[in-house]
Amino acid sequence: MAFSDQVAMTIGERAVAGRERLPVVNPATGAVFTSVPDCTMAELDEAVKAAREAQASWAQTPIEKRRQALLAVAGALSENAQALAHELTLEQGKPFQDALMEVYGAAFWMAETTKLDLPEHVTEDSEERLAVTKRRPVGVVAALVPWNYPILLAAFKLAPALLAGNTVVLKPAPTTPTTPLTTLRVGEILRGVLPPGALNVVSGGDRLGPWMTAHAGFDKISFTGSTQTGRRVMESAAAALKRVTLELGGNDAAIVLPDIDVAAMAEPLFWAAFKNSGQICIAAKRFYIHKDVHEPVKNALMNYAKSVRIGDGLEQGSQIGPVQNKAQYERIRSLVEDAEASGAKVSRFGETPQGDGYFLPITFVEDAKEKSRVVREEQFGPVLPLIRVESADEAIARANDSEYGLGASIWTSHIESAQTLAERLNAGTVWINESQHLSPHAAFGGWKQSGLGVEGGIEGLAEFTQAQTVFVRRKQAAPAQG
């Protein structure tokens, strides 16, 4: 399809240009290149009303037809992948090929989710009684997605919510930072693919998120973003006891053991930390490297970094793009400056483009204190502390000494030993000799301050449902003999 010149919200089956508009900045240039609607309260009310009016009919639609609708969504995303990826790179900054993979990944997630079944349990089947527990849709879902993977993370929410029979109002990240453009385009693409009101897409500034989490018309909030914002979402939702799923921040530890094949693992280790300029909640953000291989691993990572090209995501050959927004750009710089001021050694690699874009070099930090900001906080940028440890036990202890518990990884040649170590890590997902792999058939969620609930798999599908048990009395019990 040809995209419209002025991107609009999708409310019901209507394109809504919005009474107010907000600018969208290209992080590679620092310049405004388009505008999007700034949703008003009246327009949000319209979106919630459209979702509410569509929900009963959508829930009563046989699940096989809902599966077919999601497969049609996957097909529409794939058909428009090139155009979506181009606009995603413009607003998010990631290299075009990575943006393309994100769109195709969202389509894959949609299609694979259709293979899941809602659980149904027969807890009693006797002459006297039948008891069946089924899963019913929650109702109307507010889906709030962040700016690092706006299309893929929207699919994480839309696929199970819609399959379970809910309707959705989807909101991209607020401005600033913001990546609203491609999320709004998804709404544009899917008009006519889904029934009117099943999916509504709105965009807006910092006021819109609180409006949504407090809105009486929502039955559930599904949020991905920072832990700080997640706390506010939970507080707002608590007033009406709305259901919440919160996928929040992470400060994932990578443990590198002395038996690692350094040459073979240098490249995957590097991208475990620096993919998408490090702007991934499950990126490795602390490397605990055994003393016996610390120097070889450090040298291999830095040598590889010399070969990586930093640049505008639309330029051929760019592998790392800019940080998505100025606020995050300034925060990352402050973390590195703080580390240097406290005596850490900082090594920078990669030539950053000239101009007003939010480009940062690939940065390694050595000898950082364990309590320093660059180690304790989630950097969410192209910065990586390299920390020497004496043993695997020390690495496990230091990895667990964090308020976060989203993911972790272990890098070794001894798989069985790593599996035993994995059970000692306080994280929702542990990878061995890889990082960041997720599956629509497996549960993904954070421990501690990294979130509540899960996404993916049967467990993630169930998050968008309520259990309902129906008891059927088949035969009256015989009267007691007096």
The residues annotated with a catalytic role in the active site are: 247, 281
What are the CA-CA distances from residue 228 to residues 72, 225, 387 (Å)?
Answer: 36, 8, 27
* Length of the chain (residues): 482
User: Which two tokens mark 5?
Assistant: 């010149």
340: DSSP letter: H
State the first-to-last Cα distance of the chain, in angstroms, to the nearest integer: 79
Quote the radius of gyration of the chain (alpha carbons, Å).
Answer: 24
Residue with token string 């000692």? 424
> Rounded to whole angstroms, how far apart are CA atoms 134 and 189?
33
Alpha carbon distance 438, 34 (integer Å): 33
Which tokens is 332 given? 């990352």
Q: Which residue in the block uniquely carries the two structure tokens 């496990």?
A: 396
Q: Which of 319, 320, 44, 261 lies closest to 170, judged by CA?
A: 44
Strands (E) across 325-417 are located at 345-349, 362-366, 383-389, 404-405, 407-411
- Alpha carbons 22 and 33: distance in angstroms, whole number: 11
Q: Is 213:237 a contact under the CB 8 Å cutoff?
A: yes
Decide: 335 and 363 in contact? Cβ < 8 Å. Answer: no
Are the CB atoms for 456 and 112 separated by under 8 Å?
Answer: no
Neighbouring residues of 259: CB distance < 8 A, sequence distance ≥ 6: 412, 413, 414
CA distances from 341 to 335, 368, 373, 380 (A): 10, 10, 11, 20
For residues 196 and 51, give the distance between their C-alpha atoms in angstroms, rounded to a whole number: 8
Rounded distance between C-alpha atoms, residue 154 and residue 30, angstroms: 25
Considering only CA atoms, which of 201, 165, 156, 271 is closest in space to residue 36?
Answer: 201
